Chain A
Amino acid sequence: MGKLTLFDKIWDSHVVKSIEGGPDVLYIDQQYIHEVTSPQAFNGLRARGIPVFRPGKTLATADHNIPTTDQDKPIRDQLSRNQVAALAENCKAFGIEYFGLNHQKNGIVHVIGPELGYTRPGMTIVCGDSHTSTHGAFGAIAFGIGTSEVEMVLATQCILQPKPKKMRITVNGSLRKGVTAKDVIMYIISQISTSGATGYFVEYAGPVISSLSMEGRMTICNMSIEMGARGGLIAPDEVTFRYFKELPSVPEGFDWNSMILNWKELKSDPDAGFDRELTFNGDLIKPMITFGTNPGMGIAIDDSIPVPEDVAGDDNASFRKALDYMGFVPGMKLIGHPVDYIFLGSCTNGRIEDLRAFARLVRGRKKSPNVTALIVPGSKAVERQAIEEGIDKILSNAGFELRQPGCSSCLAMNDDKIPAGKYAVSTSNRNFEGRQGPGARTLLASPLTAAAAAITGKITDPREFID
């Protein structure tokens, strides 16, 4: 007794069978699907002539490949239109609940899952999207899978999966003014690199994590994959329980009073065995920004870009290639560098709290004329709430426009592309070459840092705007 991690407890209770020397057959409580990574899985079911085993345990949304304007009109791009239509047809044919474009519950898969109460503590959750780790904020095992695995879950509600190792990351202290959850996770990734947690499932703990809202915790868990982790999770607590009590809509048969009793058991034992433990001091974290082409290449916003000789873990060729792509040189400071675009949104920072933070900073100010802004709510519910709270008015008074929900410029499958060579301060999760459009130069940062850049037209320390 008393040596298990939260991860062990959830994982072990979902193992249907262990294969000798091989993976576990893991039962999945909830699957989410979207238009991009599911069509080939449905084709597979058709080729085998088999049904979806438990259609009630999969939920579908269209988010990756949709426009963020004129959503009431047909999608212009034919391939995108076909892909979204294929999802609708597949859901109908196989009996899966689908929140398509214009549905009042539509939105980014990792935003709607939690806000509609489908994601709950203690669950196993998968989706054909690496940012499925987001749902770990609720004390669930949630991770991204490939399309072959989507087909496995559709066919049998199970997946074959080797059990990852376990890491705990504790963030002590407290956060300084202008430092957000996004900065915390970007700081951790900058410290351990983009592959520092590969092979591990991470539990986040400590006073800084406990102090975060559910939105902030989702931002942290969301980017677990950016340090290579299979996923990240946070033990549920009073903040988690309050989130469920305040949910405006919940799935049928949802009885949180009885659930909450079980959820209170969901924590790592005091002397639980982790394969690796890391501790960081939250007091030292400043607003962060990336300068390169992977999320591990991040610095405090007032720091200088490192010189290659000082960079451990990255070889010089890759480091120099990244700086060439970005148009930066070693040792330079980013503060004051011109910015062409800002993007607020995505499953990392497209929730109401992110829009509120952005609006608070730009309120009573004006967007820089040099900046094109893409402000994209994570879901229809976030969009509605932003309008109810008057955030849309604050934004339009400052020269911004609220678009319609979707993944948008995070991966730029739709028209929301950053042009080649342009600099975008983006609240999304990846700064890979061409991620936001061929040749686009992405600087990852928090909603506050994006707001500061939108106002000044330059990379700006958001603390200048915060009393």
Chain B
Amino acid sequence: MPKEKLNILESRCVPLPLENVDTDQIIPARFLSATSREGFGENLFRDWRYDKTGNLKPDFILNNPAYSGKILVAGKNFGSGSSREHAVWAVYDYGFRAVVSSFFADIFRNNALNNGLLPVIVPEKFLQDLLSMVQKNPETIVRIDVQNQTITVPASGQSHFFEINPYKKECLIKGLDDIDYLLGLKDLIASFESEKNR
């Protein structure tokens, strides 16, 4: 089934300069009882964003009106922990279309790519420069170009070529879906099964 396409993303950023942000922080387990994919953005970073009585915590970055945008910039090893795709759905549903970090947990990265959320891996120095720039000036714009695999900060002139495998890149740009691709291989899969006696 077709998904939202992503090629050029130009946006302000939300900085989250913490390492090892795990999936339990992104979406706590007690919000995983839903049976649909929608609505998880409401509880993104729930326990950092709201206090015990459900009031917004003013010191958390998502509650700071100065910051907004479709790009989340986070410390290294973002998305570690559980395999819950709900974490990606929450980030996406909140309105982010890309997460920039120096390092992603494997399952989170796969899940992100399967949902049209782009994980952009940058060197630690690039990340730290970007974080401090955005923290100083919330209006900093970042431009991500999927086709050319670049992330650029026009104000500083910094640019980085990021890795993404060619198959996933095409899926993102064209809004293609893995399951459609696999369904097209059913005959091949069936002959693999009889050949290997599986």
CB within 8 Å of B: which residues of A? 13, 16-17, 19-23, 25, 27, 29, 36-37, 39-40, 43-44, 47-48, 50, 53, 64-65, 77, 79-80, 82-83, 86, 128-130, 132, 144-149, 151-152, 155-158, 160-162, 164, 194-195, 198-199, 225, 228, 230, 294, 314-315, 317-318, 321, 411-413, 420, 430, 432-435, 438-439
Contact = CB atoms under 8 A, between A and B. Distances in A.
B107 A43 contact: no
B145 interface: no
A194 B77 contact: yes
B81 interface: yes
Interface in B79-118: 80-86, 88, 103, 105-107, 110-111, 114-115
Contact of A164 (B76, B106, B166, B193): B106
Interface in B107-150: 107, 110-111, 114-115
Nearest to A36: B32
Given A83-B33, A146-B110, A156 B25 contact: no
B158 to A, nearest CB: 21
B69 interface: no
B185 interface: yes
A79 B29 CA distance: 13
Contacts of A225: 81
Contact of A44 (B83, B179, B189): B179
Contacts of B76: 195
Interface in B160-188: 165-168, 178-179, 181-183, 185-186, 188
B5 to A, nearest CB: 17
B179 A152 contact: yes
B185 A433 contact: no
A17 B185 contact: yes
Contact of A16 (B85, B114, B188): B188
Given A43-B36, A198-B105, A130 B19 contact: no
Among B24, B34, B82, B167, chain A packs the most CB atoms within 10 A around the CB of: B82
Given A16-B189, A37-B83, A144 B107 contact: yes
Nearest to B17: A317
9 contacts: A37-B84, A148-B85, A148-B115, A152-B179, A156-B189, A157-B189, A198-B105, A225-B81, A438-B30
A147 B183 contact: no
B66 interface: no
B20 interface: yes
Contacts of B34: 79, 83
Contacts of B35: 39-40, 43, 82-83, 86
A147 B85 CA distance: 6
A275 to B, nearest CB: 15
A156 B18 contact: no
Given A27-B192, A36-B32, A412-B29, 11 more contacts: A22-B167, A86-B35, A128-B85, A147-B111, A160-B182, A228-B105, A230-B107, A411-B24, A411-B82, A412-B30, A438-B30
B88 A146 contact: yes
Q: Which 3 A-B pairs have CB atoms at the shortest separation, nearest pair first?
A: A22-B167, A79-B33, A146-B85
A366 B80 CA distance: 38
B18 A321 contact: yes
B15 interface: no
Contacts of A47: 1
A155 B177 CA distance: 13
B178 A146 contact: no
A22 B18 CA distance: 31
B77 A198 contact: yes
Contacts of B84: 36-37, 146
Contacts of A156: 179, 182-183, 185-186, 189
Contact of A149 (B33, B37, B75, B110): B110
A402 to B, nearest CB: 24
Nearest to A23: B167
A162 B165 contact: yes
Given A156-B179, A228-B105, A149 B114 contact: yes
A293 to B, nearest CB: 8
Contact of B36 (A17, A40, A48, A145): A40
Nearest to B38: A40
B186 A53 contact: yes
B47 interface: yes
Contacts of B77: 194-195, 198, 228
A29 B198 contact: yes
A54 B137 CA distance: 54
